[in-house]
Structure 1
Amino acid sequence: MRFHRCRPRLWAAAVFVSVVGLATAALGPQAGAADRLVPAAQAAALVEDDGADCRVSVPGGSASESLLPDPFKRLDGTRVSAKSDWRCRRAEIRELAERSVYGDKPGKPESVTGTVSRTSITVNVGHQGRTASFSAGVDLPSGTGPFPAVIVYGGLGADTSTIKSSGAAVISYDPFSVGREGTARNNKQGAFYSVYGSQSSTGLLAAWAWGVSRIIDVVEQSGGTVLRADATGVTGCSRYGKGAFVAGAFDQRIALTMPIESGSGGVNAFRSIARESGSQPLSSAYSEQPWLGDAFGSYTGDPSALPVDTHQVVGMIAPRGLFIMDNPHIDWLGARSGAVAALGGAEVYKALGAGGNITYWSDVQSGDHCAVRSEWRTPLQQNIQKFLLKTGSSSGTFRIAGKKSANLSEWRNWQTPALSDGGGTDAGTSTGTSAGTSTGTSEGTSTGTSQGTSTGTSQGSTDGSSGGSGDGACTATYRTVNSWSGGFQGEVTVRNNGSSALNGWTVGLTLASGQSISNLWGGRHTGTSGSVTVHNGPWNGTIAANGSVTFGFVATGSSSTAPGDVTCTSP
């Protein structure tokens, strides 16, 4: 057993409780309710790693698991039961990810100094007698500032013109100055390896993330005259999308993470990549460049032996802002596996009461790699407004292209717990017990319809909601989650009205003329238009007393008329 990082326990715990407690209070219960705004100051932690003091004891070995590992199951076999438990559970996931996937990402060196101007940032680090320096460019939007900023990897990421017009600065980060490509694993080069050694087992992605953290250190020290230290985003595409994803997962000061088309070694679930035809094999991603840590080489032939997967790394970002952009037109990018990871990680967001803080979008028309896409412009603006400017209130959405749809129920044998708001067993002792309900579980695909003209979506809208009826044992209510030209996303909440557990449920609803369900998750349905019947799946048939579950669907047709005759019966 060892402490994950060194930091006074009570201070770090107080930071987490205040951050997540405020965030979940602002969101309210998730069962049957739309996600509400979480201000970025509450969604982002005040420290690089708030679980640094958690005691993490990694078992000597782990059994192979073909499905996605349970993100809520501690290393001692118990499950988290309160939102406050997530702090040390996240520390366990981080430890596993460092050991098996990325290599160690060290914390702040002994010395970090630098400067911030209106055109550049300089970073100087010193640690145990070794030193290194690198710099980044700054491009400010119009106005007087200080400005929030998005760190853009290698000149490829989210549309910089949209970032600037939204009111955020662009920090141009050259990751090769911190960790160069084209080097042997035993002779890695760049600022990170000048400090920690050319034979370090840490891969480039973690090294690049370390560089991002050092930029944030310097911005914090600058006094906020040019850039705001509490409003930083990160983005990148392709290999840089891999880097942006890891940076956002490993530094909790990053309020908004935006990886684009990150492929194998990025967001994509390792276990799913192994089964997705045409996607870049793990062995190829490992050998192409030393992006991943040296230890990952032993898992490329059998990812089921990995003690962690990327849906848990997605969960490391929760409850902060996450906007994942994917490309379904290039098989090598493995967008189906990206959707699997996003759906799995979204369960962590929901459990923490922050389901509206994650967006996944692969429903795009153009197949060009790393292109500026019109479909992403509006959600990009909305995410910047919400998490960096702290003026927006949009809710995240899932728009998954039909040709790369994903079904989470095929990848898990665990349920999402209903975490309490009170204190759990987060003192690092891992003695909590499993929560008994599965509230708000969103199983399956949330698949879009590949329209290519999806700008200006109505994210998180609750218009078109309708009440329901039932047989007394249960009731069902409908709401429209999102709508766009030619389609919409709906959600039905099934609530147990009784004082004892309900075993099995059936919902009936009637779609208006021209409406047709293209994908449904969280249940099993009969019919796609007109009268539709939805039955529970084996994973969510039991609803605790006064508890609820949800199922969702994507449909073609106008959302102006909500599905009617919503009924619920139970055997």
Structure 2
Amino acid sequence: MRFHRYRPRVWATAVFVAVAGLLAATPGAGALSAGDLSAAPQIRAGVEDDGADCAVATPGTGPSNSKLPDPFTRLNGTRITARSDWRCRREEIKKTAEKYVYGEKHAKPASVTGTVSRTGITVNVSDQGKSAGFSASVSLPSGSGPFPAVVVFGGFGADTATIRASGAAVINYDPYAVGKEGTPRNNKQGAYYSIYGSSSSTGLLMAWAWGVSRIIDVIEQSGGSILRSDATGVTGCSRFGKGAFVTGAFDQRIALTMPIESGTAGAPIFRGIPGESGSQPLSSAYSEQPWFGDAFSPFTGNPNSLPVDTHEMVGMIAPRGLFMMENPHVDWLGARSGSVAALGGAEVYKALGAGSNISYWSDVQDGTHCAVRSEWKAPLQQSIQKFLLGTGNPPNVFRISGSKAGNLSQWRDWTTPTLS
């Protein structure tokens, strides 16, 4: 993601959509109950991949399709009928996205050790006979703790003052220590590639996500006197928004995912980018940095042949907390395609009875890239309180800029099932 200076321009009246009305197909949809999947931010506490035991066939590409793939249809062509089916359907989406978009995310290594202090976290990893390490700094809020924490990618673009004022610690994560930018695809550098090889086909976004997962491993082992292992969020802006989005999708221990202005390779649907004027082309994002996995190369000119799209990565986060923030003033960021991803993924939230757990906001006045915005402060506070502190209610709102409002009906030929 290249950085430029942009001037805000006049844009259409914002579209205000209440999620409760948009997503609730029946009275009470989205309400939390003891027996519902949405009763807790995670499906099972302490589990990185809840569907790891699901038998998943090798995903194929199938015929080209300009419409978004149906998130509710299994690889064998049958549709899921119960909420309990989502666990293994999600695993199919995960494996498909790894194979064709991001590259493999290696599971927890043979050895993960480290320390958690009031000022920092150290991580030491050993796997397949190789070792690597990295560290992150910690900024605690006032109080005695233990605290929930938000992993902030790159220390850039996130409203860390509001995060801490809301009662959560900030973990300042340098993703470049795990996957360095500015390297060729056949010579990737950083902790991930020190272990799994510099010619690994896994892209930087997945390597960065792996690094956050190892931080959570260390927090889990630390005894919980400083940071809570069951209440971790992740956020970042621009390229770091891409990383935050992928991290939340691929680790179910993340209770709250908050990507900001993530652009191409982040939340916006791949199929929408070629037709969205001014957005960063897929080929540009693929070549700018090795963010994507190497296997994405054939799809940069033909995303319609992809068997997966980002609305399904949004669905992978369900029913956990998700607050997506986008900037409609910068065409390069593809906010219209981002709104379609949010609307499509929200259908998964609705089907799981967790419609109130996803929020989206692109109705902002200031067009400066990665600015701290007053419009996002209240929903940020509400998200932290609900999903990390367990108090109050989620923001439960969609505010889509009228200048970058996507229409989900134009992108799907499937309906949302009522899951038992």
| Structure 1 and Structure 2 fold alike (TM over 0.5) | yes
Partner of 1:316: 316
Q: Do the aligned partners of residues 42 and 372 (structure 1) sit closer, same or farther apart at CA in structure 2, a change above 3 Å counting?
A: same
Work out whether residues 261 and 333 of structure 2, in 8 Å CA contact, stay in contact via their aligned partners in 1: yes
Q: Could you tell me how far 1:43 is from its partner in structure 2?
A: 2.3
1:35 aligns with 2:30: yes
Deviation at 1:42, TM superposition (A): 1.6
- Asked if the contact 1:158/1:258 (under 8 Å) is kept, the reply is no
- Secondary structure of 2:272's counterpart equals helix
Give 3-state SS (helix, strand or coil) of 2:275's partner: coil
Please list the CA deviations of residues 123-152 of structure 1 after superposition, one character each: whole Å capped at 9, or x if unmatched.
Answer: 000001100000000000000000000000
> SS where residue 134 of structure 2 aligns?
strand
Match of 2:92, SS state, is: helix
Query: Which range moved further: 386-395 or 53-62?
Result: 53-62
Give the equivalent residue in structure 2 for 1:223. Answer: 223
Alpha-carbon shift at residue 61 of structure 1 (Å): 4.1
Give deviations 1:244-289, integer Å, cap 9, x for gaps. 0000000000000000000000000000111111100000000000
**Counterpart check, 1:202 vs 2:198:** no
Higher helix proportion, which one?
A: 2
Match of 1:95 in 2: 95
- Aligned 8 A contact 1:351 1:418 in 2: yes
Letter in 1 for 2:391: T
In the superposition, the TM-score normalised over structure 1's length comes to 0.68
Name the aligned partner's letter for residue 257 of structure 1: T
Does 1:44 find its partner at 2:39?
Answer: no
Superposed counterparts of 1:466-485, under 5 Å:
none
Ranges of 4+ aligned residues in structure 1 off by more than 6 Å:
38-41
Structure 2 portions without partners, runs of 5+:
1-23
Distance 1:408 1:61 in 2: 23
Instruction: Provide the rounded CA distance (Å) in 2 between the counterparts of 1:376 and 1:61.
Output: 38
Residue 279 of structure 1: aligned partner: 279
Equivalent residues in 2 for 1:127-166, closer than 5 Å: 127-166=127-166
Match of 2:397 in 1: 397
Matched residues in 1 for 2:288 and 2:33: separation? 39
In 1, are the aligned partners of 2:29 and 2:354 still within 8 Å (CA)? no
Residue pair 1:37, 1:395 contacting (<8 A) in 2 also: no
Post-superposition shift, 1:116? Answer: 0.1
Give the letter aligned to residue 370 of structure 2. C
Distance 1:132 1:107 in 2: 15
Shift of 1:156: 1.6
Deviation at residue 395 of structure 1 after TM alignment:
4.5
Higher relative contact order (CA 8 A, sep 6+): 2
Given that residues 36 and 395 in structure 1 are in contact (C-alpha distance below 8 angstroms), is that contact kept between their aligned partners in structure 2? Answer: no
Counterparts of 2:221 and 2:258 in 1: how far apart (Å)?
25
Q: Deviations over 1:515-565 (max 9, x none)?
A: xxxxxxxxxxxxxxxxxxxxxxxxxxxxxxxxxxxxxxxxxxxxxxxxxxx
Q: Is the 8 A contact 1:157 1:235 kept in 2?
A: no
Contact 1:209 1:250 in 2 (8 A): yes
Q: Calculate the aligned-residue CA RMSD, in Å.
A: 1.3
Q: Distance in 1 between matches of 2:124 and 2:253?
A: 20
- Unpaired stretches in structure 1, ≥5 consecutive residues: 1-28, 421-571
Summarize the Cα distance change of 1:381–1:395 in structure 2 as closer, same or farther, 3 Å threshold.
closer
| Alignment-derived partner of residue 348 in structure 2 | 348
**Aligned to 2:101, what secondary structure does the other structure show?**
helix
1:245 touches 1:257 (CA, 8 Å); kept in 2? yes
Q: Does the Cα contact within 8 Å between 2:120 and 2:138 map onto a contact in 1?
A: yes
Residue aligning to 1:435: none
Report the alpha carbon displacement of residue 60 of structure 1 after superposing the two structures with TM. Answer: 4.4
Alignment deviations for residues 98-145 of structure 1 (CA, whole Å, 9 cap, x no partner):
000000001100000000000000000000110000000000000000
Distance change in 2, residues 1:412/1:169 (3 Å): same
Structure possessing the higher radius of gyration over alpha carbons:
1
**Structure 1: distance between partners of 2:186 and 2:377:** 42
Q: Residues of 1 paired with 2:157 and 2:343: CA distance?
A: 22
1:407-418 aligned at under 5 Å gives the runs 407-418=407-418
Aligned residue for 1:270, secondary structure, equals coil
Aligned length: 392
Q: Give yes or no for contact 2:59–2:95 (8 Å, CA) kept in 1.
A: no
Deviation at 1:38, TM superposition (A): 6.9
CA 1:38/1:388 → structure 2, altered by over 3 Å: closer, same or farther? farther
Query: Equivalents in 2 of 1:160, 1:326: separation in Å?
Result: 18
- 2:99 partner amino acid: R
CA distance in structure 2 between the partners assigned to 1:166 and 1:184 by the alignment? 40
Measured in 2, the distance between the counterparts of 1:30 and 1:386 equals 23
Between 57-66 and 138-147, report the one with greater CA deviation: 57-66
Q: Cα distance 1:136–1:305, how it changes in 2: closer, same or farther (>3 A)?
A: same
Q: Percent identity?
A: 72
CA contact (8 A) 2:157 2:371 kept: no
The letter of the residue matching 1:31 is: T
Cα separation, partners in 2 of 1:219 and 1:370, compared to 1, 3 Å = same
1:58-77 matches, cutoff 5 A: 58-77=58-77
**1:30 Cα deviation (Å)?**
5.2
Residue 236 of structure 1: CA displacement?
A: 0.4
How many angstroms apart in 1 are the aligned matches of 2:191 and 2:300? 28
1:266–1:378 Cα change, 3 Å = same
Q: Deviation string for 1:478-529 (max 9, x for gaps)?
A: xxxxxxxxxxxxxxxxxxxxxxxxxxxxxxxxxxxxxxxxxxxxxxxxxxxx
Indicate how the Cα distance of structure 1 residues 30 and 143 shifts in structure 2: closer, same or farther if over 3 A, else same. farther
Q: Distance in 2 between matches of 1:43 and 1:63?
A: 36
Counterpart of 2:251 in structure 1: which amino acid?
D
- Post-superposition Cα deviations, 1:386-423, rounded to whole Å, max 9, x if no partner, equal 00000112341110000001110000000000000xxx
Structure with greater strand share of residues? 1
TM-score (ref. length: structure 2): 0.92
SS in 2 for 1:258: strand
Letter in 1 for 2:26: A
